[in-house]
Amino acid sequence: MVMTVTNSKVHARRQKVFRSVFETRISQPTPLLPATEPGQPFGGPSAAFLANTPRLTHPANDQVRWDRAWHVVTSRIQLPSSVAAEDSFGTLAPDSSQDVDDAFRSSLLLVLNPASALPNASHTEDILSWHSQQVRQHFVNHVLPLLAACTSQGDHTQVLLTSIRTLEAANRQYLYGLSLILRAFRDEDAANAAVVKFRRDLHAVIGNSWTQGLLDALRDVLNRLATDVLRAGDMQASSPEPDREEEEDSQASDSRGELLRILESLSKVGLAGEKFQTLFAEVMNSCMDAFIQRNYAGVWTSSDDFGASTVSTVFSGCMAHLGDWVENHYARLTVEVFSRMGSKIEWSDVEMWKNVAIARLSTLRIHELFDIVLSWPESKGGVEDLRSAVTTPQRRLQLTDTFSAALQKRLLQPGRSTLYILQTYISMIRTFHALDHSKVLLDRVVHALQLYLCQRDDAIRIVVTGLLSHPKETTPEDSRGKLVELAAILNDASLQQRRHVDDDDLDWNDMLWLPDPVDAGVNYKRPKNEDVIGTLISALGSHDIFIKEFQSIIATRLLSGQPGIQQEVKVLGLLKRRFGESALQNCDVMLRDIQDSKRVDAAIGKSMESQQDQDGNIISFHSKILSRLFWPSLPKEPFTVPETVAEMQRQYEASFEHLKSSRKLNWLDNLGLATVHLELEDRTLTIECKTYEATVIYAFGQDEAAGEQGPAKRTFNDLWQKLMIDEDLLEEALAFWVSQRVIRDVGEQTYVVLEKLEDDVENAGADAAPATGEMEGGPPSPRKAKGMSAKEQEQRGIYWQFIVGMLTNSSPAMPLAQMMMMMKMLIPDGCSWSNEELQDFLEEKIAAGELELAGGKYRLPKK
Amino acid sequence: MKVTIQKWNTVATWRWDIPEEDVCGICQVHFDGTCPTCKYPGDDCQLLSGKCGHNFHMHCIMEWIKQESSRGQCPMCRQPFEWTDQNNESAGQIE
């Protein structure tokens, strides 16, 4: 009970508040009548008649007259209460007869000027506000449901059109009522003011009546039309096919017309308000995105054929096209649209749009940058776009961040070969140079790459071999796996003009001087040119490592019996300029050794009496004489050379000592090449091979007179003892000859000369086949493997000494990580091992009892 | 099978034919290397053997001998430094 009372109280209060804000009373066609005196006539046609009688001064009379006039007027302009279909708005109320009209007019005059005509009427109201109130009510009750019904239609265009039609009809209806009222206005200004006010009210109502369906429909239609219109600015639109162009142009103008028509009707019915503007802005925004994506994604060619005429020449390629498009298509459409809505577009707005568009394009380009790098130099246009757009530090930062991420994701992976990474890096150097001469951007992105390249052991080797390769000779097959680009760059003289940069900043006459970029790091030095090789080398870690690797590679090449050393000299010259003479002195000496020994060899060759073996064949004997301290570790694996060769060596030595007083020679028999001529029963072979290989096969050829039956047979141990050769070398040599099908493995480490090829076929099923197959599968690269293992052995010795020292002096027990860190820091050349390698090594030592592992820490066993 | 060696291209290293000590007493660089002023070892940077049995890079010992304080003595044994006949020729040229 109490609840009900309070409820009703609250309800009443709410009603009161509502009424104080909204005048609900006048929503009735006729106002509530105050109590009228009995006997007074009310309603009916006589009211109009009464209204005409001039002098009635009784207040109650006035009130009655007012009420009657009000009734006449309101019933005349009252809107149809129920709306069945949209076309109910289509027809206006039929023109009524003249007398009704007259009655209406006179009533209207009363209603409009109650103060003068009916001074005694106590209760009067403003017909205009009543009308707008009525309209509002009507709109909410009848038109909105209709609009909602419209949006349920499937086709968006249809939705839009019917909605507009509905609203137009409603508008007409509402304005008709207003116009009736306005007829009585004598003052034109007041009439206009009333119309404006009403219109504003109406538009406010309509403008707030957007339904989601209508919004969607309008967005869709606008999007479609705007896209159609703007499509005329596409790059493809400037294609040479006139038919298509015309067709597209007509389509564009059709769309433009339609768009503007829709817009006009929208603004007429009052839908062109703030909501529409927001919507239109959104649509135009997405249009710009779509246009940029459609036209420029992946288009990097800087075609100069489309118009860069109106736009400033700072921009080129896509940028120019984009600027042009914004100005001539985008802005034009917007200006047209806005002028329909009565607003204006400033030139500064167009400039702003241009900037926005350029920013969008540059964002696109930034995201494409990695692909641009990959397809350099075809993608030059893309870089040009970026260069003109990426001007602010923020954008530069965005660029480097995005690129770094792409780099990390797409390049720095175990799946990428070192060669590929290096090739990409070269492209990067060039792309970024084109983008930003100051190299700041490159420096910022390249750090991760450099770190990663340090993990790739073969990186330096690839670079050096690339530098040393012959650009002209290499066929496509050869160039695979090599960085021939480097050789090409090296040989291109125009790229090698490096100016001295020492007193760069002091060159007061340098008219091209620029301040350092704001985002440059400390110790920044402006590079003078793109300098691919220099940047590449600097990415490979410290110079010492590079020089060391260069030495070992150049040593291998110099000893490989290649005819000329021009390429080496050239590369050396380049590196000298970069690293300084003294750093590369060893290489200098190496080259000099080769040149000198050619001369010395010729001199000795002349003085030496030509040596003949027992059958009178002349051996041509040549040697390279090296300065041993200047070459990277030359492994010495002595063995007994064939007697004839030994004799030659003795002579050679004597000649040398004669030529160069108080100097002696040490032979490195395992290096070098020999040519052997093999006469077998069914074939003769002339094979160039390593000296130790020649020695081994020579051992098979000997002793034939010693009465052996059948083909010569040697066991591994025989050869080993006889030649005093290293086991590994012997094994390699035997494997080489087996692969050459000169000898075959008959098991138990015994090898037999293959006098006839058929013998091999006979035995192929047994055990010869696997051996040869194996050899074919993995072609032997004896020297490299040998050299590596010797070097490795030496390195292990050094590391072990270091570890022992560390555990003795520094701390008695250390975990693996700490050891690794110490070794990396303190061993002069750095430690090339990974954690795993060190662990393996330490485990070996533990197995050998030289080390103990306790509680995750290594320590030396106590003695 | 008959094996004939037709060509033999080998590699050798050279060294100074001197007994034992391997570094120059003056510059402490290996004899087979160069003295500090030279770039190329061997012909460009000869050795000079004293009668006292000490060897030096020629450039090093010449520099030493030129100094007043050396009084023409071998820096190792302080005996008057005289080089062996073998190198007389070249030494004479320098003086």
| ipTM score assigned to the predicted complex | 0.83
The residue to which tokens 């050096």 are assigned: A464
d(CA A227, CA A291): 8
Tell me how far apart the alpha carbons of residues A862 and A240 are, in angstroms, rounded to a whole number: 89
Q: Which residues of A touch B2 (CB under 8 A)?
A: 678-679, 701, 704
Q: What are the residue ranges spanned by the domains of chain B?
A: 47-94
Classify residue A704 by its DSSP letter.
G
Least confident range from A267-276, A514-523, A805-814: namely: A514-523
Give buried/exposed letters for A663-681 (b at 16+ CB in 10 A, else e): bebbbbbbbbbbbbebebe
pLDDT of residue A685: 82
Please tell me the predicted confidence (pLDDT) of residue A344.
74
A624 to B3: CB separation less than 8 angstroms, yes or no: no
Q: Show the CA angle centred on residue A324, arms to residues A320 and A326, nearest 5°.
A: 120
- The residue type of A435 is L
Q: How far is B12 from chain A (nearest CA, A)?
A: 4
**Amino acid B7: pLDDT:** 81
**Span A380-390, pLDDT tens digits:** 777 777 777 77
Report the pLDDT value the prediction gives residue B20, as an integer from 0 to 100.
Answer: 67
Beta-carbon count within 10 A of A710 CB: 8
The Cα–Cα gap between A533 and A487 comes to 10
- Parallel, antiparallel, or unpaired: how do β-strands A750-753 and A743-745 relate? antiparallel
Say how many residues make up chain B: 95
A626 or A525, which is more confident? A626
- Which CB contacts under 8 angstroms, 24+ apart, belong to A758-763? A758/A682, A759/A711
In this complex, which of B3, B13, B17 lies closest to A662 when CB atoms are compared? B17
- Per DSSP, the residues of A567-590 read HHHHHHHHHHHHH-TGGGHHHHHH
> Nearest by CB to B17, which of A622, A664, A697?
A664
Q: Answer whether A31's CB lies under 8 Å from A25's CB.
A: yes
pLDDT for A283 equals 83
Q: Do B1 and A679 touch (CB under 8 A)?
A: yes
Amino acid at B86: Q
pLDDT score for A118: 67
**What is the rounded distance in angstroms from the CA atom of residue A739 to the CA atom of residue A758?**
15
Q: List pLDDT tens digits, range A679-720.
A: 877 788 888 888 888 888 888 776 554 555 566 777 888 888
Residue A341: HSE in the Cβ half-sphere, 13 Å Cα cutoff: 22
As a whole number of angstroms, the distance between CA A376 and CA A741 comes to 48
- Checking if the pLDDT of A832 tops 80, the result is no
Work out the average pLDDT over B14-34.
80
The reported pLDDT for the residue numbered A196 is 81
In which residue are the tokens 């494409």 written?
Answer: A368
Residue where the block lists tokens 């050769």: A725
In chain A, pLDDT over 70 holds for what percent of residues?
72
A698 and B5: CB-CB below 8 Å?
Answer: yes
A861, A852 in Cβ contact below 8 A? yes
Write out the two tokens for A750.
Answer: 């015994």
**Dihedral pair phi/psi, residue B55, rounded to 5°:** -115, 150
Collapse the DSSP code of A622 into the 3-class scheme (helix H, G, I; strand E, B; otherwise coil) and give the result: strand
CA A655 to chain centroid, in Å, comes to 66
Distance, in Å, from the CA atom of A34 to the CA atom of A56, rounded to the nearest integer, reads 19
**How distant is the alpha carbon of residue B69 from its chain centre?**
23
Residue A434 host element (H or E): helix A418-435
| A507-538 tens-digit pLDDT | 666 666 666 666 666 666 666 565 677 777 77
| C-alpha closest to that of A842 among A832, A834, A852, A856 | A852
Banded pLDDT at A177 (limits 50, 70, 90): confident
Name the residue among A797, A791, A790, A772 with its Cα closest to residue A728.
Answer: A790
User: Which DSSP letter does residue A674 get?
Assistant: E
More confident residue, A214 or B9: B9
The answer to whether residues A204 and A140 touch, using CB atoms and an 8 Å cutoff, is: no
User: Which of A591, A592, A634 has the most B C-beta neighbours within 10 Å, making it the best mutation to test the interface with B?
Assistant: A592
Give the pLDDT band of residue A48 (cuts 50, 70, 90).
Answer: very low
A755-777 pLDDT tens trace: 777 666 545 444 444 444 344 43
Q: How many residue pairs bridge chain A and chain B with CB atoms within 8 Å of each other? A: 162
Query: How far apart, in whole angstroms, are the C-alpha atoms of residue A611 and residue A533?
Result: 49
- Residue from A562, A582, A620, A627 whose CB has the most chain B CBs within 10 Å, to mutate: A627
Q: A625–B33: do the CB atoms touch at under 8 Å?
A: no
Decide if A592 contacts A625 (C-beta within 8 A).
no
Could you report the per-residue pLDDT of A456-506, keeping only the tens digit for each? Answer: 777 788 887 777 776 665 555 555 556 677 777 766 655 444 444 444 555
Span of A343-347, A368-372, A414-418 with lowest mean pLDDT: A343-347
Determine the Cα–Cα distance for residues A402 and A398; give it in Å rounded to an integer. Answer: 6
Asked if pLDDT for residue A723 goes beyond 50, the answer is: yes
- Out of B3, B12, B18, the one facing A666 most closely (by C-beta) is B12
Residues 6+ away with beta carbon under 8 Å from A705 = none
Task: Give dist(CA A389, CA A488) in Å, integer.
Answer: 32
Cβ-Cβ contacts under 8 Å, B3 against chain A: 676-679, 697-698, 700-702
pLDDT at A159 over 60: yes
C-alpha to C-alpha distances, A686 to A641, A674, A703, nearest whole angstrom = 19, 10, 21
The answer to whether residue A66 scores a pLDDT higher than 70 is: yes
